[in-house]
Structure 1
Amino acid sequence: MPESHDFFVAADPESVRARVRGALAREGYTVEDGEQGALRAVRGSLGLTLLIGGLANDRTFHTRLDVQIMVTPEGRTVARLIRGSGKSALKGGAIGISRGNRAFEQAANAIHTELAQAGILTESVPG
């Protein structure tokens, strides 16, 4: 499973940030501004996840994702989705790993769909 996913976008960084924020919010994440224009998205309850581990459902299983919004030297805007800190295995063993993988995949799909439907996605590269 990739640890990151790059979305190359034909739009300015601020509009990309707003679209990514909206896509993650629709997936149930609370999205906050991070350092240097990044986004930090959190879903679920860490306490509940540590208590019941893999028995937590997709929306209550604690997941953290980070999104960096960058501009390449060529002037292309890139939104990089990164698995957040906090190992899924420690929060539910094999089931926790599976839930973490699924959450990352669902978030990547939501961002991809949002950017593609807006007609601004030029390339999507798992990393």
Structure 2
Amino acid sequence: MPESHDFFVAADPGTARARTRDALVREGYTVDDADQGGLRATRGSLGLTLLIGAWANDRTFHTRLDVQVMVTPDGRTVVRLLRGSGRSMVKGGAIGLARGNRAFEQAANAIHTVFAQAGVLTASVRG
């Protein structure tokens, strides 16, 4: 399972960051600013997830994703989606791991879609 997903976009970093935020909010995440212009997205309840583990549904199962927004030396904007801290396996065994994987893929698909629909996605690379 990939630990990151890079989106190369033909947009300035501020616009790319705003579109990424919007995509994650539509997926049910609370999105906060992070260090160096990044984003931290969380969904679900950590306490509830630790209490009931795998029985939490997709929206209540605690998920954290981190986003970095960078500019390459040749001037391209890159949005990197990263799995956040806290392993899903600890929060629900194999079912928790599957939920974490699904949440990551859904978020990556949402970000991909928002950039593709805007016509600014130039490449998408799973890491």
Correspondence 1:41-120 to 2 at 5 A:
41-120=41-120
Aligned-residue offset at 1:68: 0.1
After TM superposition, the score normalised by the length of structure 2 is 1.00
Aligned-residue offset at 1:71: 0.1
Aligned-residue offset at 1:100: 0.1
For these two proteins, the number of residue pairs brought into alignment is: 127
Local SS of the residue matching 1:87 = coil
- Give the corresponding residue for 1:8: 8
Local SS of the residue matching 1:88 = coil
Unmatched runs of 5 consecutive residues or more in structure 2:
none
Q: Percent identity?
A: 79
Aligned-residue offset at 1:61: 0.2
Local SS of the residue matching 1:90 = coil
TM-superposition CA deviations, 1:19-64 (whole Å, max 9, x none) = 0000000000000000000000000000000000011000000000
Runs of 4 or more above 3 Å deviation: none
Amino acid paired to 1:121: L
Amino acid paired to 1:90: V
CA distance in 2, matches of 1:73, 1:55: 45
Aligned-residue offset at 1:112: 0.1
- Give the corresponding residue for 1:30: 30
CA distance in 2, matches of 1:55, 1:105: 20
Amino acid paired to 1:51: L
Unmatched runs of 5 consecutive residues or more in structure 1:
none
Aligned-residue offset at 1:87: 0.5
CA distance in 2, matches of 1:101, 1:24: 15
After TM superposition, the score normalised by the length of structure 1 is 1.00
